[in-house]
Structures are given as structure tokens and as C-alpha cells.
Amino acid sequence: MKDKRNEILAKNLINYSCQLKKGETIMIEIKGIETLELAKELIKEATRVGGIPFWYYNDESLQRPWIMGASEAQFKAFGKLHLKLMKECDAYLGLRGSDNPFDLADVDSKQMHMNQMNFYKPVHLVQRVKKTKWCVLRYPNNAMAQLAETSQETFEKFYFDVCCLDYAKMSKAMTPLKRIMEKTDMVRIVAPGTDLSFSIKGIPVVKCDGGRNIPDGEVYTAPVRDSINGFITYNTPSLHDGFTFENIRFEFRNGKIVDADSNNREKINKILDTDKGGRYIGEFAIGVNPYILHPMKDTLFDEKIAGSFHLTPGACYDEAPNGNNSAIHWDLVQIQRKDYGGGEIYFDGKLFRKNGIFVDKKLEKSFSKAALKSKGI
């Protein structure tokens, strides 16, 4: 059964997410031994459609000795090499299933910063995100099941349900939400530990419907850069560079995070001080995936939780630009369903979503499991 599901998922990734065409080159980055069967299906499907796949194996256990010991000159040379490779590719697939997501937990922050600035920013944030067709996804292994606090068998079923839903239907359901957000000026968010206001006027709104992430399920824009005022408390833990941040709280003044706290105040402020853009917000998004209900310390899943939103310190996307540039893009999630404390989102003074449920019943129904279930699995 899993082999068949890998085959279906590979076809969706190559043909729907990356839209790979004959003669195009695709880079497939493989992380984790258990991802190899899906990787084989991806290579097979890329070959079948006439593409030229290039693949390599990589995970945090291999990155660890390099990042710990490399000099700035070595990081620059490493980034230069990988940038050349990325520039040769029309598409990119990041297949992530590392055995231990905490392998980089104790790496010195200065080394992580050099890696971020000389490798990740130029290769991924600038070249891959802006100039290729790309999609990243996690793969169900025992490490992910542990983070989700469930058995691997149960997690696998959940994974393939959420990754193989009908994203074409989801895209159609997102259109009314997109149109409403495009007409909105002021947003106000109220929840426990949160009272925040900002404008999204004039910023494009983008549907995330399986073309960049699997799983997917968010509609995003960006705040007008200097318009955010108030405070927010995130109720979802975030695993970042091998450390689990909890109880993150930001206070904003004219768009800037003027106070930041968490279970490690020093670490979170170092991240935000990566560069000038690190203390401003680059994305505001509403999560709508009905299969994802609880956090599992994995951003690709958590940011799509039904009844959630995320407000992201760092770089904006070119598709929804607000002028904020940064080497970081850190999606932090607040869940507003009743079981997570509730909350409200107002658009131009009118209640738009309460306790994670859209006030418009038709809109809410369009994002149900029944409406989006795929016949392929």
C-alpha cells in the first residue's frame, strides 16, 4: 500500500507541484534513509515526463561536522558552488525525513549565522525561492512520529491523507478567501496574550494550494511593513535550528519587534538580530488544511493547521512584497480554535473568524475534509 501511495505522491509532486516539462532539469535533495523509496519514484516520474533529474543525499548529521568546523571563506566557497548548481535547475524538490531533527541543537550560533548568510540565503532564499519551480515536503519516519507523539503507523496514514488530498479542489475553495483578503485594509487579531493590528492594503494575496509545499493549505499576504502595533503570544512550539522555542511573545511598535521573549530570551533575540529585517514581519497567512489540527514541531505542517494563522519575522516573498529583506523567514503559528484558547480575527472592523471558524458558513464548509478528500488514496 505504501509503495502505491509513494507512486501517487511522486506523480503529484512532479506534475502538479513542480509542473516539470520535457527537457527541464530538477534537483532532488534527499534527507533521511526512509525517504529513498519515494526518491526512487520521483526519479522514475521525472524521467518518464522527459526531465533531467539531479539528486544528492543530505541530512543534518552530515551538515553538523561541516557547519561546526568551516571558516567564513569555506562557507562562501560552499555557497558559491551550490549557487551554481541551483542556477542550472529549472525545478527543485526538497525531500526531508532526517532521523534526528536536533542534530544541530548545540552548534555555535556564530557558525549557524555564517551558514545562513553564505549558503542558505543566496542559494535558497534568493535563487531557489525566487527563480525556480520548487516544492519541499517532509516524509513520515519514526522521528516525525515521535514529534507528533503518535505511532509511526498512525502517522503514516495521517501523512498520506494530508499530502494526497485534492489540492485542485482546495485551490478553488481558496479563491473566495483570497478575494476577501484583497479587499481588506485593517486586520485586528485578538486572543489570549494577543491584541494586534496592522494593514494589508495593497499587498498581493497568494493561494498556497500544493505548488510550493506538501502538505499545503494557507492563503498568505504581508502586513504593510511599518503598520503593526500591539503584542502577540504564539501558542505553538517552534523547532528552529535544533532548539524548541515555546511561549514566544513579541511586542510591536510601528512594525518593529521592540521586545521578544520565549523559553530562551537570549536565543530568540539573537535570531531576530540576524539582520535589520529580522525584527520586521514578512508574511501573514491563514491556515486552512482540515487534516492538520495539532502542532508537531514541523513548520511545513504546523503553519497549515485549520483554525490557525502565522505571522512571520523576516523576509517577505516576491509574490507578496512589503519591502522587508532578511536572511531569516521564521513561520510562527497561533492556533485560535477553542481547544487552544480561542481567538478572533477582524477584517476592517468586522468579525471574520471566531475560534478558528469562518463566520461565512459557506466558506467554512468549503475547507472541510469531505470537500477536499482525494479519490486517489
Q: Tens-digit pLDDT profile for the chain (377 aa)?
A: 557 888 988 998 999 889 999 999 999 999 989 899 999 999 999 999 999 999 999 988 999 999 999 999 999 999 999 999 999 999 999 998 888 878 888 899 899 999 999 999 999 989 999 899 999 988 888 877 787 788 888 888 888 888 777 888 899 999 999 999 999 999 999 999 999 999 999 999 999 988 788 888 999 999 999 999 999 999 999 988 889 999 999 999 999 999 999 999 999 999 999 999 999 999 999 999 999 999 988 888 899 999 999 999 999 999 999 999 999 999 999 999 999 999 999 999 999 999 999 999 999 999 998 888 765 54
| Domain assignment present for 35 | yes
Cell numbers given for 149:
507523539
Report the SS3 class of residue 277.
helix
Task: Read off the amino acid at residue 23.
Answer: G
* 280 and 149 in a common domain: no
From 221, 228, 367, select the one nearest 286 (Cα to Cα).
221
| Domain assignment present for 339 | yes
| Domain assignment present for 377 | no
Cell numbers given for 218:
494557507
Residue that has been written with the C-alpha cell 489570549 in this structure: 192
Rg (CA), the chain: 20
Alpha helices, DSSP H only, in the chain?
2-11, 36-48, 60-69, 72-87, 109-115, 129-131, 142-147, 152-163, 167-182, 265-272, 299-302, 361-366, 369-372
Give me the phi and psi of 266, to 5 degrees please: -65, -45
Cα gap 231→195, rounded to integer Å = 6
Cα gap 137→127, rounded to integer Å = 19
Domain range for 104 is 2-163
* 78 and 143 in a common domain: yes
* 114 and 187 in a common domain: no
Asked if 138 contacts 97 with a C-beta cutoff of 8 angstroms, the reply is: yes
pTM: 0.76
